[in-house]
Structure 1
Amino acid sequence: MNRFRITTSTLACSLLALLACSNTDNSVTPSTTGSTSGTTSTTVSVGTGVPDVFKKIYGATSITTDGVYVYIKTTGMPDHKSAYYPTSNSLYESFTGTTFGGNRFSKNPNSISAQNFTFKIPLNPKAATTHTATNLGAIGVSLNGVPFFNQYAGPNQPLRNEIVSFDQWWGHPAPTNEYHYHVEPLYLTTVTATKSSLLGFLLDGFPVYGPEENGTTVSNASLDAYHGHTHATAEYPNGIYHYHITSTDPYINGSGYYGTAGTFSK
């Protein structure tokens, strides 16, 4: 999802914040990497009481909380170049090489366009008594505001036929023009962060980390049925359950949410 794209919805949100958002007391302006792959930085409107860890979601237009849930609004626009941007967009970049898994890139017919996403996730996530399956569509949000999708191209349909359409940063747009990641968000793990960094959150509020931990590649075998485990991380020194992205199916999430999922709306 400098690295940010300023859209009409972003400006509108900023205006509303000035006129009516009484719960907004500060803002976060993320630093830029200087990479030629991204855009320029913009300001995220942050409400009162939002924990610092959620302020890492630099691709949000606003982040607020009611004390029970965190509300993350994004346009879903990736902050990196892609063959799926319209050619008139400065982030358009033609791509004909190999993509995820060494597949030859085959562009799908969709394009990237700005959305109006709201991710409502628990402020203090807890393990669910009954674990529910992830749905098709957004199951979480990455740091650049782009949604995470699960390991399926359709109902119980594996990704093998879709993988060829992932762009150079391993994302692609749906028929609704919603850009998303099913697998490792390569721009985040190689440009804006690292392979072991926090990469976002699933809708149940538990964090998602990269494919490495303490200098070692994480394997599916080291994770539980939901594709995670519990211990301390840089952001949670007292320990927390967290997911890891891996290079093989199920990539981000396994047999459903570890916690009770919030909602996604657009």
Structure 2
Amino acid sequence: MRPFLLLLLPPMCVLSLLACSKSDDTAPATSPVTVDPAVPAVYKKIYGAASITLDGSFVVIKTNNLPDHKSPYYTGANYEAYNGSNADYRANPNRITAQNYTYRIPLNPQEAARKSATPLGSIGVSLNGVAFFNQYAGPAQPLTNEINSFDQYNGHPQANGAYHYHVEPTFLTVLKGRDVLLGFLLDGFPVYGPIENGVAVLNTRLDAYHGHAHATTDYPTGIYHYHITNADPYLNGDGFFGTPGTITQ
């Protein structure tokens, strides 16, 4: 697939947008998260979930999938006209609506003996409870044109109103950092940002599944993890490194 570099907002521009949203009392509010005390601390970073519990060897994460930032795809008080840097931006006709996602991801992920492809639709969950999607706009269709419908925070909704990120969620990387945990894929392995040890992560440094293994701040003894990068396939390559759990709605 031909690499396609993503047009991203300059960091100071995104910081300005965040400052406006944070000071606006009409901005989306984040509801308190109900967390089982037995849930490992790393999963408690998913601040946008409705609840996080344990069910045997699975972590169960429930979300309404509503982004905690404004968007041209919201209606009412949470609407904000597109003010990003992509001159080719064209909104799609969809509008953000609440979902009822339940993710069951492995508590102790392991490499799968037989790898499986990621499906269309949600392949994981980000810290603000919004879904991660893979690198395709449709079956074997690259994001080349669809990128132009991403809002100022690099997300957009599909036809059923489910908002999602295919690429770097700039609201989160400005809020939390570009070198930190950003969420988890369905196989339980974590997703990190596009910076590592102070330098940009290149696709050539990652394996076929868009990840590698070593110690991180959250996993000091080491773990396989994915990285978001600024070139196709952005988040995931040839499929899940581990055995995926499930998502229902």
> TM over 0.5: same fold?
yes
Counterpart of 1:121 (choices 87, 100, 105) is 105
Paired residue secondary structure (1:37): helix
CA contact (8 A) 2:59 2:106 kept: yes
> Which of 171, 183, 186 is the matching residue for 1:200?
183
In percent, how many aligned pairs have the same letter?
60
Once the 2 structures are TM-superposed, how far is the Cα of residue 35 of structure 1 from its aligned partner? 3.5
**1:212 has 2:195 as partner:** yes
Q: Tell me the equivalent position of 2:161.
A: 177
Unaligned stretches of 5+ residues in structure 1:
1-33
The aligned counterpart of 1:260 is 243
1:37 is aligned to 21
Relative contact order, higher structure (CA 8 A, sep 6+) = 2
1:63–1:73 contact (8 Å) kept in structure 2:
yes
Aligned to 1:91: 78
Q: How many residues align?
A: 227
Return the offset for 1:98: 2.7
Partner of 2:215: 232
Calculate the aligned-residue CA RMSD, in Å. 1.2
CA apart distance, 1:96: 5.1
Query: Within 2, Cα distance between the matches of 1:48 and 1:194?
Result: 26
CA distance in 1, matches of 2:122, 2:84: 27
Residue 145 in structure 1 maps to residue 125 in structure 2: no
Matches of 2:126 and 2:83, distance apart in 1 = 26
Q: What is the one-letter code of the residue matched to 2:123?
A: I
2:45 counterpart residue number = 56
Distance, in Å, in 2 between the alignment partners of 1:215 and 1:182 is 23
1:68–1:122 contact (8 Å) kept in structure 2: yes
Q: Secondary structure at the match of 1:53?
A: helix
Q: Distance in 1 between matches of 2:206 and 2:54?
A: 30
Q: Within 2, Cα distance between the matches of 1:176 and 1:186?
A: 23
In structure 1, distance between residues paired with 2:128 and 2:156:
15
**In structure 2, the residue corresponding to 1:243 is in which secondary structure?**
strand
Deviation at 1:97, TM superposition (A): 4.2
Give the TM-score, by structure 1 length: 0.83
**Partners in 2 of 1:54 and 1:123 — Cα distance?**
10
Displacement of 1:37 in angstroms is 2.1
1:161: Cα distance to partner?
Answer: 1.2
Shift of 1:81: 1.0
CA distance in 1, matches of 2:113, 2:20: 46
